[in-house]
Amino acid sequence: MSNLLSPANKVVLYMGNEAIARGALEAGVNVACGYPGTPSSEVVESLSKVTTERNLYVEWSTNEKVALEVAAAASFASLRSLCVMKQNGVNVASDFLLHLTASGTRGGLVLVTCEDPGALSSVNEGESRYFARMLEIPLLEPATFQEAKDMTKWAFELSEKIHNVVMLRSVTRLSHASGNVICGRLPAKNSKAHFDYSGSMMDPLRGPVVSTPVVPKHTIQQKKLAETANLFEKILCNYYEGPKKPELLVITSSACYLYSREAIGMLGLQKRVGILKLGSTWPLPPQLLKKHLKAAGKVLIVEEVLSFLEENVKTLYAGCAKEIGVKAFYGKNDGTIPSVGELNPDIVAAALGKIFRIKYKPVADDYAHAMQEIEKIIPLRQQTFCAGCPHRASYWNINAALKLDGRAGIVCGDIGCYTLGALTPANGFNTVRTSHSMGSGTGIASGFAKLDAFGLKNPILSVCGDSTFYHAAIPALINARHNNANLTMIVLDNSGTAMTGFQPHPGLCSGASGETLPAIDIAEIARGIGAEVAICDPFDLEKTTAQLTTFMEKADTVKVLILRQICALSPEKKGKKKYLMKVNEELCRGEECGCNRLCTRIFRCPALVWDKVKKKAVVDEVICAGCGVCYSICPQKAITKTEAPPQ
Amino acid sequence: MRQTRKLSSQELLKKNVLDAGLCTGCGACVNLCPYQVIYRDRTVQLHSCDLSDGKCYAFCPRSSTDLSVLRKSLFPQADVTPEIGVVKGYYLSRAADSNLRERAQHGGTITALMELALAEGLIETAIVSSSERQVNVPVAIKSKDDLLQNSQSRFTVSPTVATFHEIAAENIAKIGVVATPCQALALAKIKTYTDKDASLKKDKLKLVVGLFCGWTLARDKFTELLKMNNIDESAVVGMEIPAGKGILEIYTPQGNRTIPMKEVENCIREACRYCVDSTAEYADVSVGAARFGNDWEEMRKWNQLIVRTEAGSDLIDLAVARGVLEIKEAPSEILKELKKAALEKKKVAMKNIVAKSGRENNLLYLNSNDSLIKGLLKRSGRKK
């Protein structure tokens, strides 16, 4: 049984994302949906495992906007719903979110955004706290695992109180770390969906759900938000700890609260510094802020990414400065806290050190020196494709086709493991020239392909993953076709949302909870749009390269090449080798003219190792996934493959 | 200070040959390693290789070449003419088999010689250009019927030397190659390569039959020209440049078409502008059309034949003895005309080379200390 179903009062070790999921279950959530994205995926994933027990509908939606629409429908039908995404997912959902916050909601709707300061597994350091302020909805930021659960549960109640979306923001260090949580009660399962639209347009619970009349509804929304600010004055997740009259007040939230507390301890400043820890960061509770600002002469705001909290605190302070006196503010705006990247206790300690003129060294000198010495001898570990990764073979083919074509084709990239194709030849394949948001590669390619009239004659290509294809690339492909932007789109179809952990997508015949669903074929969609379509196995190098060069030469239509091969780490493939690979040392020419280490110098599968002593390539059997591609590239046929015994 | 790294062979190939427009597409740098391939008629470097002293650059007919050294080792005793290289014998020739002559471009000499070499076991495989117009890849041939199918000229280059590398790596001991001048030069460089690399099966090269060649066509440009003239490239079965008419004849099942030579000349491969060899001077024997003056219709079914090496001489003797080849003494005015045409190509090439390098002491791939080249430079310089 999933530990998400643990009984009340039991202490359970939950990952932050599981704590959020448990909170939703304790709130009696009926619908949970989202689009996978690190560090958010485990919320929906863990809920997908308890659908039967908790009378829950869980889906991986096509993209974040659709996910929010699905969640909104449940809310309109008076059910509670949870919608989960990563920071940039909120951007995708934001158009609908603007209108949803204007129309209002019924059943509690909580939008969970798990964000990635420092871009540990993102190509952006985006932040969605500003959406809460811009769209005038409450924003909650739990700091601990217990809070993650408790605040999620409470967010549903708040949502129903104000008839609007409540946003709950987590960060990587909360979502992906684990801690003890005391479970609450799981409610009875007796929800019934009912969508009432018989009332007047102004009736939030019985009228049609629309954002018009805009101004009156906007007025109500703002009134509810003001009520929320009052409510936030007294909630348990906003609290102060420290001396009555601190020299410095730290205002913080989220994981930064823990960093701040630790940093104060490290510098022994417990008697001089107080912390105002906020669990609700929009709207700010004015009285609580005023009271604590008044008590201290100096104020440090500790937060990650942008200076959202700092700006809001300063705005609020400006309104009461006359009353509470002059304060010195420290934070991102004056450079005390770095304005990019993740924070940690050392960074906060360094900031406190600056203010209190305490020399702070995170590690002793000899330790730092030893670290420097060790760094010189630690082998460089580069980001690269896994052993057996279809993308390595795909880029091998794409590269060959580009070179053979000889017209400097431009490849526009997209979001997935294959973004590594933008890296230098040593790591990725130095093939991808642009990389932005999901689906954008094909949109940009569509634009490039229309620039031939201005002298940009290069063939234009885009790469796009299978999940990305459904998520946002289809409108771009339609755009290309309709506008005669005759690009070649390469769909790197590895049969799942691989980078985030093999969540299913519309191309597969199973849903989030393993239920059977109709699969929607990429080739059929592309053909329906009018593209010329071919499907190749990227491991078949000769055929794939030939198909791609043929496509690049066809200037009169949009081409879609689907490169289909399951991810090496997928549950159906992982640990199962198709071939046993071996290097015949007698045939291996190593560094000689005629080979010059093609496999370990250019192809660079992690399973191929260069034996410096023997001067031969070696297959690391432990790492090798048995895909057999190196057999095809070896000019000497020194790499042999034999069918692996069935497992 | 900027550090100047020694360029790898592959980088030299790129800088001095590919980017310089000197690549002939012969395929000498292909099939030796995974780094160079031929696509259509272009040499493509797929990945970077950092080795120096690589065979790719060493075998390239457009990497720096001391032709005098090459001549000394290939033709130890023979006299050299400045226009058409070493001549041990010069004849008009044709295949004795009239069927074969019907199907061949001219006298059928090459087909007859390769057929004989195969039949007598002098070679096990003959490498010739394929007759598939669209592909134009060289094919390795082991039987007479295959040879006949591929006995038409096509005026576009095929990577014959690449095929030699490929076939030589197989379990075949004796290989004969039909080669253009640039390909014959590459094969000569391979034959005289001194490095002891066991994987290089240069001893398998038993026979090089050279083709006279004025130029070849760049594939992309020529394809475009055919398209502009509404000629279906895939339907072309043969081409000919009849003497003195200033046209290219194109044979298709729907009938013959012609394109003015002026237009065709725009499609000539750039590398051919720098070529000083029109008679395949580094082959064992060289064969060409007898494309002269008023006697065209009568002459077109004969070949000119230059015998250059001992092996070449033996082959011709055998062919005559077996009755597969008819030879006759060529009138002296034909030899004169051939020499005149060959010299003209050399002079034009020298002029183009000097124009490209900007200096008379930089002759790109040619060695300016070679006495023959020196003489040539003088003659081309005089006639500006």
Q: Give the end of a domain, one of B245, B265, B285.
A: B265
pLDDT at B320: 96
Decide if B165 touches A, using CB distance below 8 A.
no
Q: Which of residues 325-384 of B touch A (CB under 8 A)?
A: none
Integer CA distances (angstroms), A69 to A34, A51, A66, A448, B123, in order: 10, 20, 5, 32, 76
Record: contact A594-B39, CB cut-off 8 A: no
Phi/psi of residue A250, nearest 5 degrees: -95, 125
Helix (H) or strand (E) holding A527: helix A522-529
Q: How many CA atoms lie within 13 A of A356 on its CB side?
A: 24
Please determine whether the domains at A3-232 and A239-356 fall in the same fold group of CATH: yes
Query: At residue B369, does pLDDT exceed 50?
Result: yes
Cα A89 to Cα A41: distance, rounded to the nearest angstrom: 12
A42-78 as b/e: b if 16+ CB within 10 A: bbbbbbbbbbeebebbbbbbbbbbbbbbbbbbbbbbb
Cα nearest neighbour of A398 on chain B: B46
Helix (H) or strand (E) holding B139: strand B138-141
Is residue B284 located within the same domain as residue B259?
A: no
DSSP 8-state secondary structure symbol assigned to residue B124: S
Query: At residue B204, does pLDDT exceed 90?
Result: yes
Is domain A239-356 annotated with CATH 3.40.50.920?
yes
Is residue B109 located within the same domain as residue B247?
A: no
- Band of pLDDT at residue B377, cut at 50, 70 and 90: confident
Cα nearest neighbour of A405 on chain B: B39
The CATH code that applies to domain A390-564 is 3.40.50.970
Is residue B120 located within the same domain as residue B232?
A: no
pLDDT at B196: 72
pLDDT at A305: 94
The number of angstroms, rounded, from the C-alpha of B348 to the middle of its chain's C-alpha atoms is 18
Tokens of A484: 């005669």
Is residue B191 located within the same domain as residue B318?
A: yes
Cα A443 to Cα A434: distance, rounded to the nearest angstrom: 11
Tokens of A86: 């990563």
Is residue B238 located within the same domain as residue B340?
A: no
Is residue B224 located within the same domain as residue B319?
A: no
Instruction: Tell which residue, B368, B381, B186, has the closest CA to residue B281.
Output: B186
**Residue-range domain boundaries for chain A:** 3-232, 239-356, 390-564, 579-643
- Band of pLDDT at residue B52, cut at 50, 70 and 90: very high
Superfamily of domain A3-232: Thiamin diphosphate (ThDP)-binding fold, Pyr/PP domains (3.40.50.970)
Query: At residue B136, does pLDDT exceed 50?
Result: no
Q: Which 3 state secondary structure label does DSSP give A272? A: coil
* Domain region containing B258: 219-265
Q: Which regions in chain A score pLDDT beneath 50?
A: none
Cα nearest neighbour of B8 on chain A: A593
Record: contact B53-A593, CB cut-off 8 A: yes
Q: Do A188 and A56 meet the contact criterion of CB atoms below 8 Å apart?
A: no
| DSSP β-bridge partners for residue B86 | B80
Interface of A with B (CB under 8 A): 399-400, 403-404, 406, 425, 549, 589, 591, 593-596, 598, 602, 633, 635
Cα nearest neighbour of B44 on chain A: A404
Record: contact B46-A403, CB cut-off 8 A: yes
Query: At residue B151, does pLDDT exceed 60?
Result: no
Is residue B226 located within the same domain as residue B306?
A: no
Cα–Cα–Cα angle for B203, B205, B210, nearest 5°? Answer: 150
Cα B76 to Cα B89: distance, rounded to the nearest angstrom: 16
- Band of pLDDT at residue B22, cut at 50, 70 and 90: very high
The CATH code that applies to domain A579-643 is 3.30.70.20
Q: How many CA atoms lie within 13 A of B261 on its CB side?
A: 12
Question: Which one of A596, A598, A615 makes the best mutation probe of the B interface by having the most chain B beta carbons within 10 Å?
Answer: A596
Tokens of A373: 């010495």
DSSP 8-state secondary structure symbol assigned to residue A185: P
Query: At residue B148, does pLDDT exceed 80?
Result: no
| Residue showing tokens 């000889």 | A406
Q: Do A108 and A27 meet the contact criterion of CB atoms below 8 Å apart?
A: yes
Is residue B130 located within the same domain as residue B95?
A: yes
Is residue B319 one of the residues assigned to a domain? yes
Is residue B375 one of the residues assigned to a domain? no
Record: contact A404-B55, CB cut-off 8 A: no
| Nearest CB partner across the interface for A595, out of B33, B42, B197 | B33
A486-503 as b/e: b if 16+ CB within 10 A: bbbbbbbbbbbbbbbebb
Query: At residue B128, does pLDDT exceed 90?
Result: no
pLDDT tens digit sequence for B291-311? 665 565 667 788 999 999 999
| Residue showing tokens 């519309």 | A506
State the CB neighbour count (10 A cutoff) for residue B343: 19
Q: Which 3 state secondary structure label does DSSP give A62? A: coil
CATH at B324:
3.40.640
Cα B132 to Cα A410: distance, rounded to the nearest angstrom: 32
| Residue showing tokens 């001194």 | B194
Size of interface A-B (CB pairs under 8 A): 45
Tell me the percentage of chain B whose pLDDT exceeds 70.
Answer: 89
Q: Which 3 state secondary structure label does DSSP give A47? A: helix
Is residue B251 one of the residues assigned to a domain? yes
Record: contact A594-B44, CB cut-off 8 A: no
Integer CA distances (angstroms), A183 to A143, A144, A148, B92, in order: 17, 14, 12, 103
Q: Do A33 and A67 meet the contact criterion of CB atoms below 8 Å apart?
A: yes
Decide if B35 touches A, using CB distance below 8 A.
yes
Domain count, chain B: 2
What's the first-to-final CA gap in chain B, in angstroms?
Answer: 43
Is residue B187 located within the same domain as residue B253?
A: no
Q: Which of residues 176-235 of B touch A (CB under 8 A)?
A: 197, 199
pLDDT tens digit sequence for B175-193? 999 999 999 999 999 999 9
Cα–Cα–Cα angle for A519, A523, A528, nearest 5°? Answer: 100
Cα A179 to Cα B116: distance, rounded to the nearest angstrom: 86
Chain A residues lying within 8 Å of B199, measured CB to CB: 589, 594
pLDDT tens digit sequence for B258-274? 999 999 999 999 999 99
Instruction: Tell which residue, A181, A174, A416, has the closest CA to residue A304.
Output: A174
Phi/psi of residue A538, nearest 5 degrees: -60, -20
Chain A residues lying within 8 Å of B169, measured CB to CB: none
Gap from A592 CA to chain B (nearest CA, Å): 8
Helix (H) or strand (E) holding B362: none
Cα B15 to Cα B74: distance, rounded to the nearest angstrom: 29
- Band of pLDDT at residue B156, cut at 50, 70 and 90: confident
DSSP A343-380: --HHHHHHHHHHHHT----SS-HHHHHHHHHHHHHSPP
pLDDT tens digit sequence for B244-262? 788 999 988 888 999 999 9
Pairing of the two strands A248-253 and A298-302 = parallel
Q: Amino acid letter at B123? A: I
Q: Do A146 and A181 meet the contact criterion of CB atoms below 8 Å apart?
A: yes
3-state secondary structure string, A100-165? HHHHCCCCCEEEEEEECCCCCCCCCCCCCHHHHHHHCCCEECCCCHHHHHHHHHHHHHHHHHHCCC
Is residue B2 one of the residues assigned to a domain? no
Is residue B126 located within the same domain as residue B199?
A: yes
pLDDT tens digit sequence for B74-115? 998 778 899 999 999 999 999 999 888 888 778 899 999 999
Burial tier of B60 (Cβ tally within 10 Å: 0-12, 13-18, 19+) = buried
